[in-house]
Amino acid sequence: MMEYQRELDVAIAAVQKAAGLCTKVQKTLVGVEAIEKKDRSPVTIADLGSQALICADIGSAFPETAIVGEEDAEMLRANEAVSSQVYDLVKEFHVEMSRDDMLSAIDAGACEADFTGRYWTVDPIDGTKGFLRGEQYAIALALVEDGEVVLGILGCPNYALGGATAGTLFYAVKGRGAFARDSATGESRKISVDGLSDPSKARFCESVEAAHASHDEHAMISAQLGITQEPYRIDSQAKYASVACGAASLYLRLPRSKEYREKIWDHAAGAIVVSEAGGRVSDFSGKPLDFSLGRKLVDNQGILATNGCLHDRTLEVIAEVV
């Protein structure tokens, strides 16, 4: 059996289940009601239901391994109406789960972890604003060992790759390559980056929200590289998927604040999918992303994911511009 095969099988099934819940919410709840967290970013019942399903399945299969997630159940304990709404959804996809089990599963993501050892990290809906707009979002799940991502899954229900009718699930295991799985048929195929070495022919992607990254500095980097195409703006770690399958050659993310540090769950799964597709991922100084230091990438600033061929040249331009 392939190393990490059981982890991969359980993780794919969990993400598919969560994708089903998220798709149902997006299709049936017109004008999805967002609840504001303390940091003012929107979170929906789909976030909480998705995390409950994933943490329940991962926790059951691998009880000895910590799960690091974005959400906790505090909001549901304080709001009976929303709690009932989330639980009704979760029960459709996990019929044996009690409400207490649901709350405990969500809270599992807020528990302490040994970040230098082995842990899972999950973003139940990465790109919540894209989800609310009916555009791109991702359900991201990754397994980290000794600070290195060894397995990653991106469930992208709205990403129609190669004619997929029910979205695409991207996944990668260390040393085994990256794959795209048609969510409707279950068929998988290996994917790879585009291999372009001429930056003038390249396309770069970035966040839709200008508040999430410095579009102005991205534009200067792009101009210096000689890129002439308009940026491909999409939400979530679907940007990593775009680089991995050759739809874009680069992904740039420079936060507007120099003090800001990225959350691990926003990049772990995407980073290994790009790397295993033949690309390269680093911060803006060229350092690999270090997932051993806690819930944030405290030793990294900026994110660069490329097809590999354009990485060093892009780092040179970044050093001149930033």
Residues with catalytic annotation? Answer: 47, 128
Give the integer Cα–Cα distance in Å for 125 and 71.
10
Give the integer Cα–Cα distance in Å for 317 and 174.
30
Residue with tokens 């022919």: 201
Strand runs labelled E in the chain: 35-36, 42-43, 66-69, 118-126, 138-145, 148-156, 168-173, 177-182, 188-191, 204-206, 232-233, 250-253, 280-282, 303-306
Tokens of 169: 């699930």
Tell me which amino acid residue 60 is: S
Tokens of 294: 């806690």
Q: How many residues does the chain have?
A: 322
> For residue 258, with 0-12 CB atoms within 10 Å meaning exposed, 13-18 middle and 19 or more buried, which class applies?
exposed
Give the integer Cα–Cα distance in Å for 68 and 54.
11
Whole-Å CA distances, 309 to 249, 269, 303: 9, 21, 16
Contact predicate 297/264, CB 8 Å: yes
- Cβ-based neighbour number of residue 248 at 10 Å: 26
Strands of the sheet with 66-69, listed across from one edge: 66-69, 118-126, 138-145, 148-156, 168-173, 177-182, 188-191
